[in-house]
Amino acid sequence: MAEKINQPLAPANRHPRSDEESDTLQSKELRRKKRVKLAVYIAAFSVFQTVVILVFALTVMRVRTPKVRLGTVTFKNMTTGNLTSPFFDISFTTQVRVRNTNFGPYKYDSTNVTFTYQGVIVGRASIPKGKAGFRSTKKVSVMVYVNSNVLSSIPSLGSDLNAGVLTLNSHAKLRGKVELIFVLKKEELTEMNCTMNINISTEELRDLNCK
């Protein structure tokens, strides 16, 4: 009797054990899967975070040197001589454009723009200190007056006037600071170097190249 009672008990006893075993196996497998999932999530998040930081570093936080160039030139008054009596006396308006592609303003100090003929300064314009905003171009209109008074003996002037084209160079150095996310400041020096060719018979700008 005792054996008869025990016998059905034994398998009954064994059953829960195997159930327990498969339960723990299943939960172990489940936990393992959860851990793997978590690891995958963490890895994916780290990759995502790295990408975000990298993109941020390469775009928003990257400091780009602002560019300066001259804009449209409008001649107001132009008198020029000839081969035997060479001179020029020209006034014009133009714009100095400070292009800032940074994710923050560029604040620059006042400076002078010089105009030269064959390396000799023939005129200048002053640029007051200012600011080119967040990814924008600051345009400063200037009135420029250039004349050949200081050019006592530049032989090419007569032939240039005779050929009908006067070439002037313009140069400026801008010193300032780029400000990123309101706190990070970086000094940025930028230079303008433009060459303009003036057609003196039509009193028009033939071309303007800035580097």
Ligand X SMILES: *[C@@H]1O[C@H](CO)[C@@H](O)[C@H](O)[C@H]1NC(C)=O
Task: List residues near ligand X by CB under 6 A.
Answer: 77, 79, 81-85, 89, 110-112, 126, 163-165, 171, 193, 199, 201-202, 206, 211
* Dihedral sign for Cα atoms in the order 70, 75, 77, 81: positive
Q: How far is the CB of 102 from ligand X (least distance, A)?
A: 23
Q: How far is the CB of 71 from ligand X (least distance, A)?
A: 18
Residue placing its CB nearer to ligand X in the complex, 72 or 77:
77
Q: How far is the CB of 206 from ligand X (least distance, A)?
A: 6
Residue placing its CB nearer to ligand X in the complex, 89 or 136:
89
- Residue 51 sits at the vertex; the CA angle it makes with 47 and 52, to the nearest 5 degrees, is 115
Residue placing its CB nearer to ligand X in the complex, 76 or 139:
76
Closest CA to 200 of 57, 90, 48: 90
Residue placing its CB nearer to ligand X in the complex, 59 or 85:
85
Where helices occur in 61-164 by DSSP H, the ranges are 156-163
| Cα torsion through 28, 30, 33, 39, rounded to 10 | -80
Residue placing its CB nearer to ligand X in the complex, 16 or 164:
164
- Other beta carbons within 10 Å of 80: 19
**Beta carbons within 8 Å of 156's beta carbon, 6+ residues apart:** 118
Q: How far is the CB of 100 from ligand X (least distance, A)?
A: 20
The answer to whether 66 and 174 are in contact (CB under 8 A) is: yes
Q: State whether residue 26 is helix, strand or coil.
A: helix
